[in-house]
Each structure stands twice: as C-alpha cells, then as structure tokens.
C-alpha cells in the first residue's frame, strides 16, 4: 500500500516535470515565430491598440481598477469584429448578472461564514457546469467570477458592495467598448455560427461528468474558504477565482483521467504564466519609465507577445494569456507608471494558494490509473 502511494506520488511529480518542460519548450517556440503569421500579427496589433485605449479611457473616466478595464479589453479580442462583439456582450452580461447577485446576497452572507462558503461553492459549481454544457457558458462563468469578486471584496466593509458592483460593471464596459471599436476597425466582419453545446438536459445522465467536475470545483472553493478562515490567509478572492477559472477546462471523455490532466495542465500554465509575466514586468519596472507614452508602449508590447502566444499552435495558449494578465496587473496600478511589483506578487500568492488546494482535492477525488483499469475490467 505504502509502495503504491509512493509510486503514485513519484509518477505525479514526473508528469508535472514533463508538463513544465513541454510548456517552456512551447513558450520558446512561440517566441521564435513572432511576426511570421500575418493573421496572428493582425490580432496582436488589435490587442496592442485595445489595451492602451481601454487603459486611457479608464484613466480619463477615473474608475477604481484601471487594470480590470484593460484585461476586459484584452480578453474580448477575437478573430473577427462580430466574434469580438459577441464575446464582449457575453462577458458584460455575465458581469451585470454576477454583480446583481453579489449585491443582493452581500446583505447577509458576510456575517455568516458557513452560508458564505455554501454560496461560493454553489456559484462555482454553476459556473463550471455551465462552461461545459451551455452555449452561453462564458456569461455564466463571468457571473460566477463577478459575484464571488463583489462578495469577497466587500467582506471587510459590506457598505462598499454597491460601489464595488457598479465599478466592476463600468470597468468591464470600458474594456468591451475599446475592444469592439478596435476589432471592428482593423478586423474583418464575419459572423461565425455560435459554438454548439450539449445543453442543460441530461445532467444526471450523459452529462453527469460535467456535474462531477462542478462538484469538485465547489468542494475546492469550500475547503479554500475554511482554510482562509482558520489561517487568516491573504488574497482569498484570487484563490476562489483561480479555482473557478481553472476548473472551467473542458471535461474530456468520461470526466476522469483526461479531465484530471487538463486541470493539472491548466493550473500549471496559470502559475507558470504568472511567473513569466511577473519576471517581464519586473524587468520593465527596473527601467524606471516615467513617460506616459513609453508606459503605454511597454503595455502594448507585452500584450502583443501575450496575444501571439495565446493564439499559437504549440499548446501553451493559456500560458500567454496568464503572462499578459499579470503584466497588466503589475504595470497598471494607477494613473502613472508604477513603482512596485507587489500587485503582481500578491496575485501570484493568491493563485498559488488556490492551485495548491485544487491540487489536493484533485488527487483525493480523481481516480488514479489503477482504479481506472479496475473500473474498466469490472
């Protein structure tokens, strides 16, 4: 029994090492292909214009979290004007719904940690399941993320919840608007059919693996909340959102080993992307740029590279997304070039905590190879 456990742990570490090696190899291959694909280069140009535009608009409108507007613009860029608008509307609709839910439940949940944990688990499960089965899964996921964000950011002072909810919607609206303007000026307009999805039926039948996937995510969030309460950990919002985002990885096959690998890989890419983006941001901070124009130029260059990797062909797209995220969070701290890398470090700490809890839950609840073989032969 002990030998089997030790062997499983060794195999898991070996697999993690192979995933890290593959991710870094893919990263360097993508960097070597910069500028070689005209279609990808145009997409990178859209990102490099959208994010500085969203940043400038957010600064002019004096919103609270300028980086949230910048990230919203970055994340709604697609290969056509129509697709960008559709994704932006889904993100905005989910944000509005999630902000409304967070505003309503914040009247009593901050004062009851047990009920708060149950709500976070249920919301996470709904968002993760919806990403697997709904044609509007992105809206459901962002409803989950926004409700969690509004609720947890208002824990210390529930009276600020209306203010937080309003500015989350406002910031996302700025980013979506910037993306729609730039994408429709520089990209072709062709409306692709919406992605097909199995729908909400048969959740207790053929779609049962999606339900199990959501249950694992819910358990991970509830455990995370209990650990946070017991140990008074920082960055609880980032931990919860990381679990929801990583668990939105598509369910593969029967929802067991394939999904386990997908979640593990997504978790690793999220952490590794944070590390690489943080290193790049630290290098830019070391330049001590004080010019507003050069600051925007650094941001534009970083999202150009992130978008290139995100849309690459070497299987490390999420690595590029996360690297661009952490670069934006670190470089956009206020109305001027930043002087500290602490926002990026705080984000990395929160992500690492969420991923550690998710890893433990995954190891406990997903079947190992021996169990799968036994199940197949029975």
Q: How far apart are CA 117 and CA 130, in angstroms?
A: 20
Contact 183, 78 (CB under 8 A): yes
**Tens digit of each residue's pLDDT, the chain (378 residues):** 566 666 666 666 677 778 788 888 888 888 888 888 888 888 899 999 999 999 999 999 988 888 889 988 998 888 777 888 888 899 899 999 999 999 998 888 878 878 888 888 898 888 888 887 888 888 888 898 888 888 888 877 888 889 989 988 999 999 999 999 998 888 776 666 666 677 777 777 777 777 877 887 788 778 777 776 676 655 556 656 655 555 555 544 444 445 566 666 777 777 788 788 878 887 887 777 778 898 899 999 999 999 999 888 888 888 888 888 888 888 887 777 776 777 767 766 766 666 676 666 665 655 544 444 444 444
Q: How far apart are CA 222 and CA 240, in angstroms?
A: 9
Burial class of 9 by CB neighbour count within 10 A (0 to 12, 13 to 18, 19+): exposed
Three-class DSSP category at 40: helix
Q: Which two tokens stand for residue 352?
A: 């690492």
Q: What is the CA radius of gyration of the chain?
A: 21
**What single-letter DSSP state applies at residue 233?**
-
- Measured CA to CA in angstroms, residue 46 lies from 52, 180, 345 at distances of 10, 10, 28
Give which of 161, 169, 148, 167 is closest to 107, Cα–Cα. 161
The pLDDT value given to residue 376: 44
Give which of 311, 289, 135, 127 is closest to 210, Cα–Cα. 127
- Measured CA to CA in angstroms, residue 213 lies from 66, 132, 219, 349, 359 at distances of 33, 9, 10, 25, 14
H or E segment to which residue 328 belongs = helix 317-331
Q: Which two tokens stand for residue 40?
A: 């990808």
Max intra-chain CA distance, the chain: 68
The pLDDT value given to residue 378: 42
Give which of 172, 148, 153 is closest to 163, Cα–Cα. 153
Q: How far apart are CA 169 and CA 100, in angstroms?
A: 10
List alpha helices for 134-160, DSSP H: 137-153
**What single-letter DSSP state applies at residue 159?**
G
The pLDDT value given to residue 113: 79
- Measured CA to CA in angstroms, residue 236 lies from 149, 231, 240 at distances of 10, 11, 6
Q: Among positive and negative, which fits the CA dihedral 121, 229, 98, 244?
A: negative
Please give the distance of CA 86 from its chain centroid, rounded to a whole number.
19
Contact 273, 26 (CB under 8 A): no
* Cβ-proximal residues to 124 (8 Å cutoff; 6+ apart), any chain: 144, 148, 214, 217, 218, 220, 221, 240, 243, 244, 247
């Amino acid at each position: 029994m002990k030998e089997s456990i030790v062997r499983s742990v060794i195999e898991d570490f070996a697999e993690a090492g192979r995933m890290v090696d593959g991710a870094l190899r893919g990263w360097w291959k993508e960097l070597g292909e910069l500028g070689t694909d005209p279609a990808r280069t145009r997409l990178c140009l859209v990102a490099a214009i959208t994010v500085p535009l969203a940043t400038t608009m957010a600064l002019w409108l004096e919103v609270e979290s300028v980086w949230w507007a910048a990230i919203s613009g970055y994340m709604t860029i697609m290969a056509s004007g129509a697709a960008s608008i559709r994704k932006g509307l889904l993100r905005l609709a989910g944000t509005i719904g999630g902000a409304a839910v967070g505003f309503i439940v914040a009247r009593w949940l901050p004062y009851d940690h047990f009920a708060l944990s149950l709500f976070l688990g249920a919301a996470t499960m709904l968002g993760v399941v919806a990403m697997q089965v709904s044609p509007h899964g992105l809206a459901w996921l962002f409803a989950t993320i926004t409700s969690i964000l509004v609720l947890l950011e208002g824990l210390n002072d529930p009276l600020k919840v209306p203010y937080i909810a309003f500015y989350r919607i406002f910031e996302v609206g700025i980013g979506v608007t910037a993306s729609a303007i730039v994408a429709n000026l520089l990209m072709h307009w062709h409306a692709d059919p919406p992605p097909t999805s199995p729908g909400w039926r048969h959740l207790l039948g053929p779609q049962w693996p999606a339900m199990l996937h959501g249950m694992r995510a819910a358990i991970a969030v509830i455990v995370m909340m209990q650990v946070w309460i017991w140990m008074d950990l920082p960055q609880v919002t980032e931990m919860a959102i990381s679990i929801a985002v990583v668990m939105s990885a598509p369910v593969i096959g029967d929802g067991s080993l394939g999904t386990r690998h997908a979640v593990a890989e997504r978790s690793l890419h999220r952490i590794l992307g944070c590390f690489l983006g943080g290193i790049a941001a630290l290098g830019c901070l070391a330049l001590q740029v004080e010019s507003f124009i050069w600051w925007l130029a650094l941001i534009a260059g970083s999202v150009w590279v992130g978008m290139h990797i995100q849309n690459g062909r070497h299987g490390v797209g999420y690595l590029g997304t996360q690297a661009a995220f952490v670069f934006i969070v670190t470089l956009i701290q206020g109305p001027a070039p930043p002087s500290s890398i602490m926002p990026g470090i705080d984000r990395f700490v929160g992500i690492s905590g969420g991923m550690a809890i998710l890893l433990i839950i995954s190891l406990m609840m997903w079947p190992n190879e021996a169990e799968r073989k036994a199940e197949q032969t029975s």
